[in-house]
Chains A and B, each alone.
Chain A
Amino acid sequence: MRVWSRVRSWARAILRRGRMESEMDAELRFHIEAFIEDLVRNGVPQQEAMRRARMEFGGIEQTKEECRDARRVNVIESLVQDVCYGLRTLRKSPGFTAVVLLTLALGIGANTAIFTLIHAVMLTPLPVANPEQLYRLGDNNNCCVMDGTQNGGSFVLYSYPLYEYLRDHTPEFTGLAAFGSHLSDLSVRRHGDSAPAQPYKGEFVSGNYFEMFGIGAFAGRTLTAKDDTAGALPVAVMSYHTWQTHFGCDPLVIGAPFAINTVAYTVVGVAPPRFYGDTLRSDPPDFWLPLAADPDRWLYRSRPEWLYLIGRLRPDVASEQVQARLTVELQEWLDSHREVIPERDWKDIARQYVRLTPGGRGVEQMQTNYAKGLHLLVTLSALLMLIACANIANLLLARGSANRAQTAVRLALGAPRSRVIQQMLTENVLLALVGGAAGLYVAYAGTHVILLVAFRGTHYIPIDARPSVAVLGFVLVLSVATGIVFSIAPAWMTSQSNPADVLRGAGRSTGDRSSVVQKSLVIVQVAFSIVLLIGAGLVTQSLRNLEYQHFGFVTEGRLIVNIAPSLAGYTPDKLGGLYQRLEDRMPQIPGVLSASLSWYSPLGGNNANERVYIEGKLPDYRWTAPSWDRVGPHYFETIGTRLLRGRVIDEHDTPAARHVAVINETFARRFFPNEDPIGQHLGTGDVSHSGDYEIVGIVEDAKYQDTRGPAYATFFLPLLQAPPGEPVRGWVGAIELHVAGKPENLDLTVRKTLADVDPNLTVLNMVSFGEQVARNFNQERLIARLTELFGLLALILACVGLYGVTAYTVARRTNEIGIRMALGADRRKVLTLVLRAALAQLGLGLAVGIPAALAGGRVLARQLYGVKSHDPMILGVAAVVLVACAILAASVPARRAMRVDPIVALRHE
């Protein structure tokens, strides 16, 4: 009750301040008037009574203030006062305010942009019901198709029958769904559309997929178990984003017939707006299709393993138990399906296991890929924030020194130190909050740009750049924290200052505490800046090394066109005709110097490997299976890979001719260390095939998948050669064109030519070879660009800091400089005097920063390519740039000191 009365009186005091004030007034007046009346009644004359009443009552205003204090109104009131005062002072020094706000906006903006990404990528769960109940069967992101036992025994990829077995024997899951481990290209045409089929991304999912996630349809219906049975009518669910951007939210889409890969489908519904599937990735699926509709017809086969599984656990069971049970089930199933495992791996069955991992964020592909980079960026942006704080603290100190007299007067007049510090803190937090608001805008724009750089070459990324509630909270906390952090130094100075000293004029002395703090802050700034600059140098050099390395092919003037004949309804017997037409028509396009076909092109995200058997040699299982590709005539010439020995694959290598293979250098070195590979034979499948292909040539190594490591051992086969009776695997998916002029200019002509060859042949993708390669370095580029930006900002801030401190010192020492000059010091000596101090700070900063950068570089070393973390060149360049900029910044005030007129200076107060 007492608490309540206190709150009430407090609330009343604040809410009805006007009324309280007038009541207080009336009450006190009543007292004085009653007293006067009493005095008059006792015979005191009116005038005298009034005088005495006033005297005996004491100071009325003071009493009022004490009454207000008694109700604790002052806490709020002084805050309001401080805010108003703060706003006023900020308005009065627009230059200072602008610099501080800009610094804050950049600092907070950079940190918020990074946080927005972290929040969206690392922290936000899938937009599904109760994501915490979801568990994934597997602990890595191995892709995409496997056979038999799996890497290290941890199962992540499952065949359909194995999935069914686990689903039906594990009642602890209220639902267990399966989906393809990678998206499939689709060629989609709405029934009745005259335009050619368009490329889309599709995901094959089990019928219970949406039900397991607890996702209803936005319109129409989702997939059901019935849709996912053999013989069911083909149906598909469209993503909201696709519905919106490609079909203008047309309600008629639902229930409409579509030709997907030339098969008639019905789109039965649209998924909810925020749902992007089971994996956060760029270009998420446009369509979800039942597993039963999978064109590879893997559904009822016990091999290969190609599905990821996610299930919803019953809330009352422990995941460890289920994990143990799943492992038993897996081993049982493998044991009874030994035919899917090569005999030599049978001994490993008992070592296969299932690890349940939290699946609330789905398959954490992007999370895994970006974790390191994001951590690096967090560190860098935090460093930048600290530099910004140091800079602002410095500016505040300089301003605080200018206001020293004022503060001293306030303290001398009896203002408590706590009150002065509170006022300063309020002002600074206010500043930080305004800066935070500006930072929010910077962050929004920044996140946009970051997404563009990070996901170059994608059409859609399901990450929202708009600040979420969490981001707003982050900015608020960061702003207040920043305000407090950069207030520490000035507040400490105030708490230490002695008003008597200031008022006596001690401000004329050459050295004082505040300049020590300021100089230390500059040293810290220089140290952090050199760390950031060296970091920027390292990642930039690393990116350059990656992008301009010798790949084993030439990207200039090359265009890559991705197609998929299977989506256009081609059957194996029609492939030869299609390839022939393409090989005839493509080189005839004006501007095309040469053209070729292949299964896939280098660094386009595709890679296939296959165990190989060499005639006359024992199979060697120590090596990972070599990569292989199918290529047509002129392939190596078109992409610029040099032939080293023998011949390349040409027009004569038809299915009917002798079967041949071309290998790369690494393949030759690995499998034929001491002999001539030309004329040797190899094959795939098993030892009986080891005589299938004769090696006719060796080409230089080229990187097809991994840009950092050495090229994989690779063999190349002609487009259509396969052992008798076996279907041709590896249909043409890429057309390479060597062109004169800019590759992009040919876009329309190429599309037209392809449409002439076959209007159903959808162009899935068309980019210059350079762009295709560049997209492999999106993450490295993002980190490099951001680090460069941060480094540049840090450099500017450090220079501003050094300039500020030097200018401030010069201003304070004008008097002293005047005396020195009057006593015979020449201008050079004055210049040295001022610059020496600046150089000392610079030197100390470098002395601290460079070892720190070396230590930090070791952490970075594993992410660098072709550059040592202690690269002396980069260290040197960073130091020289920083020193040059800093000297430039310090020399402006130093020159001003040089021009000091002794007469004026001596009069200077």
Chain B
Amino acid sequence: MDKQLELLQGTLDMLILKAVSLGPLHGYGILLRIQQISKDRLEIQQGSLYPALYRLEHQGWITSEWGESENKRRAKYYRLTTAGKRRLQTEAAKWNRMADVIAGILGAAPEEV
């Protein structure tokens, strides 16, 4: 609803795309995967994951189908689409550039200005 949240959502979208790029996952799996990669340093509001997934699917970056989980239960698996792959690449590139710029600004010494 307000701007702060949207920025956060943007990052979450990227993380989800990255997580499913490594192989099809169900929602809970995505959560675990992100936590695992980030070594639990990122706290993700669990409920916010699903609206993000639905939005990404609506936009065509990911698709879903029902399958069987590790513990023999029906679960909805998400997979990256070709468009999603391209999207992830551009998002990641953008993020890296942004991070560089921000890091540059924050690392600036007084005499450089």
Q: Inside 8 A of B52's CB, which chain A residues have their CB? A: 70
**Bound-state Cα–Cα, A1 to B60, Å:** 8
**Bound-state Cα–Cα, A28 to B59, Å:** 21
* Contact (Cβ within 8 A) A60 B54: no
Q: Inside 8 A of A59's CB, which chain B residues have their CB? A: 47
Q: Inside 8 A of A10's CB, which chain B residues have their CB? A: 58
Stretch of A31-39, A249-257, A271-279, A758-766 lying at the B interface: A31-39
Shortest CB-to-CB span from A510 to chain B, Å, is 39
**Bound-state Cα–Cα, A59 to B45, Å:** 11
Known: A27-B27, A30-B28, A30-B69. A57 touches B57 (CB 8 A): no
Interface size on B, residues (CB 8 A): 25
Known: A6-B58, A30-B69, A34-B69. A63 touches B26 (CB 8 A): no
Q: Is A69 an interface residue (CB 8 A)?
A: yes
Known: A6-B58, A30-B73, A30-B74. A66 touches B26 (CB 8 A): no
**Bound-state Cα–Cα, A1 to B69, Å:** 30
Q: Inside 8 A of A60's CB, which chain B residues have their CB? A: 47
**Bound-state Cα–Cα, A24 to B63, Å:** 15
Q: Is A72 an interface residue (CB 8 A)?
A: yes
Interface residues of A in 5-38 (CB under 8 A from B): 5-6, 9-10, 23-24, 26-28, 30-31, 33-35, 37
**Bound-state Cα–Cα, A150 to B54, Å:** 79
* Contact (Cβ within 8 A) A63 B50: yes
Known: A67-B51, A70-B54. A31 touches B83 (CB 8 A): no
Which one of B46, B54, B55, B75 has the greatest number of beta carbons of chain A within 10 Å? B54
Which residue from A2, A24, A33 sits with its C-beta under 8 Å from B83? A2
* Contact (Cβ within 8 A) A31 B58: no
Q: Is A466 an interface residue (CB 8 A)?
A: no
Which one of B31, B58, B69, B71 has the greatest number of beta carbons of chain A within 10 Å? B58
**Bound-state Cα–Cα, A37 to B28, Å:** 12
Shortest CB-to-CB span from A479 to chain B, Å, is 34
Which residue from A27, A31, A66 sits with its C-beta under 8 Å from B46? A31
Which residue from B26, B47, B59, B74 sits with its C-beta under 8 Å from A2? B59
* Contact (Cβ within 8 A) B73 A71: no
* Contact (Cβ within 8 A) A57 B76: no
Which residue from A30, A66, A72 sits with its C-beta under 8 Å from B58? A72
Q: Inside 8 A of A57's CB, which chain B residues have their CB? A: 46-47
Interface residues of B in 20-39 (CB under 8 A from A): 26-28, 31
Q: Inside 8 A of A6's CB, which chain B residues have their CB? A: 58-60
Known: A30-B28, A57-B46, A58-B47. A70 touches B69 (CB 8 A): no
* Chain A interface size, under 10 / 10 to 19 / 20 to 34 / 35 or more: 20 to 34
Q: Is A93 an interface residue (CB 8 A)?
A: no
* Contact (Cβ within 8 A) B71 A66: no
* Contact (Cβ within 8 A) B45 A58: yes
Q: Inside 8 A of B4's CB, which chain A residues have their CB? A: none
Q: Inside 8 A of A33's CB, which chain B residues have their CB? A: 73
Known: A6-B60, A26-B74, A27-B27. A70 touches B46 (CB 8 A): no
**Bound-state Cα–Cα, A27 to B78, Å:** 12
**Bound-state Cα–Cα, A35 to B74, Å:** 15
Q: Inside 8 A of A30's CB, which chain B residues have their CB? A: 26-28, 69, 73-76
**Bound-state Cα–Cα, A33 to B72, Å:** 13
Q: Inside 8 A of B58's CB, which chain A residues have their CB? A: 5-6, 9-10, 70-72
Shortest CB-to-CB span from B72 to chain A, Å, is 12
Q: Inside 8 A of A72's CB, which chain B residues have their CB? A: 58
Shortest CB-to-CB span from B86 to chain A, Å, is 11
Shortest CB-to-CB span from B64 to chain A, Å, is 9
Across the interface, name the chain A residue whose C-beta is closest to B56: A70
* Contact (Cβ within 8 A) A63 B59: no
Which residue from B51, B55, B69, B74 sits with its C-beta under 8 Å from A63? B51
Shortest CB-to-CB span from B77 to chain A, Å, is 10
Shortest CB-to-CB span from B35 to chain A, Å, is 11
**Bound-state Cα–Cα, A60 to B47, Å:** 7
**Bound-state Cα–Cα, A37 to B69, Å:** 13
Q: Is A62 an interface residue (CB 8 A)?
A: yes
**Bound-state Cα–Cα, A34 to B69, Å:** 10
Interface residues of A in 67-110 (CB under 8 A from B): 67, 69-72
**Bound-state Cα–Cα, A35 to B29, Å:** 10
Known: A9-B58, A10-B58, A71-B58. A23 touches B76 (CB 8 A): yes
**Bound-state Cα–Cα, A37 to B46, Å:** 16
Q: Is A343 an interface residue (CB 8 A)?
A: no
**Bound-state Cα–Cα, A28 to B49, Å:** 10
Which one of B50, B52, B63 has the greatest number of beta carbons of chain A within 10 Å? B50
* Contact (Cβ within 8 A) B60 A2: yes
**Bound-state Cα–Cα, A714 to B50, Å:** 96
**Bound-state Cα–Cα, A60 to B54, Å:** 15
Shortest CB-to-CB span from A391 to chain B, Å, is 40
**Bound-state Cα–Cα, A2 to B45, Å:** 28
**Bound-state Cα–Cα, A378 to B58, Å:** 49
**Bound-state Cα–Cα, A33 to B83, Å:** 32
**Bound-state Cα–Cα, A24 to B28, Å:** 13
Across the interface, name the chain B residue whose C-beta is closest to A53: B46
Q: Inside 8 A of B45's CB, which chain A residues have their CB? A: 58
* Contact (Cβ within 8 A) B48 A58: yes
**Bound-state Cα–Cα, A522 to B88, Å:** 61
Q: Is A316 an interface residue (CB 8 A)?
A: no
Q: Is A512 an interface residue (CB 8 A)?
A: no
Q: Is A56 an interface residue (CB 8 A)?
A: yes
**Bound-state Cα–Cα, A30 to B75, Å:** 7
**Bound-state Cα–Cα, A544 to B96, Å:** 89
**Bound-state Cα–Cα, A66 to B48, Å:** 9
**Bound-state Cα–Cα, A63 to B46, Å:** 10
Q: Inside 8 A of B31's CB, which chain A residues have their CB? A: 31
**Bound-state Cα–Cα, A66 to B59, Å:** 15
* Contact (Cβ within 8 A) B28 A9: no
Shortest CB-to-CB span from B44 to chain A, Å, is 10
Known: A30-B73, A31-B28, A34-B28. A63 touches B47 (CB 8 A): yes
**Bound-state Cα–Cα, A62 to B31, Å:** 19
* Contact (Cβ within 8 A) B60 A27: no
Shortest CB-to-CB span from A39 to chain B, Å, is 12
**Bound-state Cα–Cα, A334 to B110, Å:** 103
**Bound-state Cα–Cα, A26 to B55, Å:** 18
* Contact (Cβ within 8 A) A5 B60: yes
Q: Inside 8 A of B74's CB, which chain A residues have their CB? A: 26, 30
Shortest CB-to-CB span from A253 to chain B, Å, is 68
Q: Inside 8 A of B76's CB, which chain A residues have their CB? A: 23, 26-27, 30
Q: Inside 8 A of A35's CB, which chain B residues have their CB? A: 28, 46
Across the interface, name the chain B residue whose C-beta is closest to A26: B74
Across the interface, name the chain A residue whose C-beta is closest to B62: A5
Shortest CB-to-CB span from B12 to chain A, Å, is 12
**Bound-state Cα–Cα, A2 to B71, Å:** 34
**Bound-state Cα–Cα, A453 to B112, Å:** 93
**Bound-state Cα–Cα, A26 to B76, Å:** 9
Q: Inside 8 A of A2's CB, which chain B residues have their CB? A: 59-60, 83
Which residue from B51, B60, B63, B73 sits with its C-beta under 8 Å from A66? B51
* Contact (Cβ within 8 A) A67 B28: no
Across the interface, name the chain B residue whose C-beta is closest to A59: B47
Q: Inside 8 A of A28's CB, which chain B residues have their CB? A: 50
Across the interface, name the chain B residue whose C-beta is closest to A34: B28
Across the interface, name the chain A residue whose C-beta is closest to B73: A30
**Bound-state Cα–Cα, A30 to B57, Å:** 19
Q: List chain B positions with a Cβ less than 8 A from chain A.
A: 26-28, 31, 45-48, 50-52, 54-55, 57-60, 63, 69, 71, 73-76, 83
Q: List chain A positions with a Cβ less than 8 A from chain B.
A: 1-2, 4-6, 9-10, 23-24, 26-28, 30-31, 33-35, 37, 56-60, 62-63, 66-67, 69-72
Starting from the known contacts A6-B60, A69-B51, 4 additional A-B residue pairs (CB-CB under 8 Å) come to A1-B83, A26-B74, A31-B31, A57-B46
- 28 cross-chain CB contacts under 8 A: A1-B60, A2-B59, A2-B83, A4-B60, A9-B57, A9-B58, A23-B76, A24-B50, A27-B75, A27-B76, A28-B50, A30-B26, A31-B26, A31-B28, A31-B46, A31-B50, A33-B73, A34-B73, A58-B46, A58-B48, A62-B47, A66-B51, A67-B50, A69-B51, A70-B51, A70-B55, A71-B54, A72-B58
